[in-house]
A and B are shown apart, each in its own frame.
Chain A
Amino acid sequence: MPLELVANVTLAGLLTGLVYGLMALGLSVIFGVVKVVNFAHGEMMTIAMYAAVVLFAAFGLDPFVALVPVAAAFFVFGYILQAGLINPFINRPEHTQFMLVLAVAIIMVNGLLMAFGPDARNVPVDYALESFSIGPLLLDTVRVYAALAAVAIAGGLFLFFKFTPSGRAIRACADNYLGAKVVGLNVKKYYALTFGLGSACVGAAGCLMVLLVDVTPLLGPGYTLLAFIIVIVGGLGSMPGALLGGVLIGISEALAGLFFSPSAKSMFSFALLILVLLFRPQGLLGKRP
């Protein structure tokens, strides 16, 4: 196997993995703070992908530009979804939360089918088929831009949680619910804010992902599953873990396709998941409960 080929495929996996990581980051943030498992995560990303398609078709808006209004709209949507629908279920048994979010996911898939039909759509930007080379490495321009954007957005989120008062308040809510209430934090508001931020993340990820794959309404469940694998591998609730998990899954998928059968891609993701669950159940960067 030529080294050049292995390097190219690994790099492509790494770049795709960073976008996966951004997608999973939203799930991880929501679970880490609100403790609700968002089973509609992939479906929300699919909606964002369609939003990018529509904005490109209607206004010629490049997905890298469209991700700003889409992320903003998703923030509002996530905020309202949490405050209006999910919050009443926060203290109810987990299975009712699962069913609620699953119902939302099913509504989303069928809504997309009704609105857009089953056909695949993409965003044919001018640079979609461009690539550039660095020595023996051949880099897909779109993938590089998408990965850089994913890293920038994830970095912005880290900074928000680390240095802003709202970010610190959210972390306080996540660390100690009772303590946060005792010191007078409006936990409900911060839960909604967190859900909004997680949704904005997935909205941005959708705009980037539509540059890498064509979108159909039925993509959602697959990406929900992928996001779960990533956050479990990286550590549920850990933000760096989500990015690391995304990168690991991206690279493992790429190398499985190269060294074994392309059909073995998913198999390797699940194998990685099982290994992590066996030897480090809290995930690679997760904290022990």
Chain B
Amino acid sequence: MIRKQQPIRTYDAVHATNVGRRRFIAGLGASAAIVSSGSLMRPARAQATLNVGVLLPTSGTQAFIGQSCKLGADIAPAVLQGLGYGLPIRLMHADTETNVDVARSRAERLINEGAHVLVGPFDSGAASAIAQVCEQKGVPFIINIAAAPQLTEQGYKFTFRNFPTSVDLVRNGLALMRDLFQATGTAPRTAVFMHVNDTFGQANAKAIGAILPTFNFLPFKVLETISYDPAAKDLSVEVAKAKATNADFLMFVCRLNDAILVRREMVKQRWNPMGMIGPGNPGMYEAQFFAALGKLSEYCISNVPWYNPKAALTKAIEPAFVKAYPKDKLMFHALNVGFTVEALMVAADAYKRAKATDGRRLAEAIRQTNLTSRMMLGGPIKFNAKGQVEGIQSACIQNLNMRPTVVLPAASAEAKPVFPVPGYKKA
């Protein structure tokens, strides 16, 4: 429920109610103190409901992924109630429109409307803007998905991230490439690297540039790096350039829409490299990727943080997901849903312990988080001094039989990896 602010009385209104000068000045002073402390904007005492502002790109170029995350957010309150978090959560949704400036203004609006904590926003650029707002307003911000390292490197006190940084994503992703080549007995000698040039893509490209030379065990060298606009409508030139390198495989840091465009263009240009491997990015395991491409989505590989289907939290989430979205399957939304539910779980857990909605107390409680039961693979959700969760693991996911399938690490593999992949005509 949105708190109603008391109307501010004007000078005329003061006279009309026969309030004396001293009383008026005293009242004015008290009002100024209240306003400057921000109490009109945020309740200082504990409330029965935790207002969580959920910022996601539910429209624009990242709309499908934003909507996928929202599926998780929407079922989270009921799931968390079922898990014994007890106190009710009220979600306040806002669409960032895949636009950093919109993300900033929506974050401000949510806080002004009474959000006690913000969650989101599946985008590093938007996360950076929201983090600045939250620092100014003293409201905790729990990042569900966003990998740019600088988000937790700037000394922010109210920003927390339960998602790997680009450096960790890339390190895990490249290590899984070695495992993939070993498992399939292959040794590609060259790669062409294509990446989206937004905040996330540039952070990943930087991480790859820094880490790849130190990974001597990888047999390939990058022949060319091709960046492109995330809002590009046509990627034929970029694919033509990549094809012309004659690289053995495509290393591909993408989003969803561009992943679909590139895949289609590869078929049009009859380019059949050994495979497409994402070293730690979204796009190729998303439901929309399968829906848009059908059989052409097969064999794409993504080395990404993944969910544990056997985890207790997954077993709690899956029935709620199936009940809420009978036409969808959790496996196509697992990463987005998992990290979003976990972000809300962190908020609920902190609220339960802090017993307050005050930003500082909530932030302090979040800092003390130690959640061992989680949906995503990795250690417990525990924030370090920078507000970053460490030890989140990645898995090698390959699209097989029209679904994302774990192929590595071998211990949790559902199928054997296929590499090199068959040509598109055979798919």
Contact = CB atoms under 8 A, between A and B. Distances in A.
13 contacts: A2-B244, A9-B236, A9-B237, A9-B240, A118-B97, A130-B268, A131-B269, A131-B270, A214-B261, A219-B233, A257-B241, A262-B237, A263-B227
A8 B234 contact: no
Contacts of A257: 237-238, 241
A16 B234 contact: yes
Contacts of B63: 118-119
Nearest to A8: B240
Nearest to B424: A129
Nearest to A16: B234
Given A117-B59, A119-B64, A262-B226, A12 B241 contact: no
A218 B241 CA distance: 28
Contacts, number: 67
B240 A258 contact: yes
A262 B227 contact: yes
B241 A263 contact: no
Contacts of A128: 264
Given A218-B60, A263-B228, 5 more contacts: A8-B240, A120-B257, A131-B269, A257-B241, A262-B238
B232 interface: yes
A118 B59 contact: yes
Interface in A10-28: 12-13, 16
A9 B261 CA distance: 17
Interface centre among B59, B227, B237 (most CB of A within 10 A): B237
B240 A5 contact: yes
Interface string B246-289: 00000000000100010010011110000000000000000000
Contacts of B228: 262-263
A212 interface: yes
A258 B235 CA distance: 11
Q: Which 4 A-B pairs have the closest CB atoms?
A: A118-B59, A257-B237, A213-B233, A5-B244
Nearest to A262: B228
A92 to B, nearest CB: 35
B369 interface: no
A124 B241 CA distance: 25
Contacts of B97: 118
B233 A214 contact: yes
Contacts of B270: 131, 138
Interface string B299-328: 000000000000000000000000000000
B199 interface: no
Interface in A203-227: 212-214, 218-219
A120 B292 CA distance: 11
Contact of A129 (B59, B226, B237, B267): B267
B101 interface: no
Given A16-B234, A138-B269, A263 B59 contact: no
Nearest to A130: B268
Nearest to A254: B237
B229 interface: yes
B333 to A, nearest CB: 16
Contact of B241 (A5, A13, A212): A5
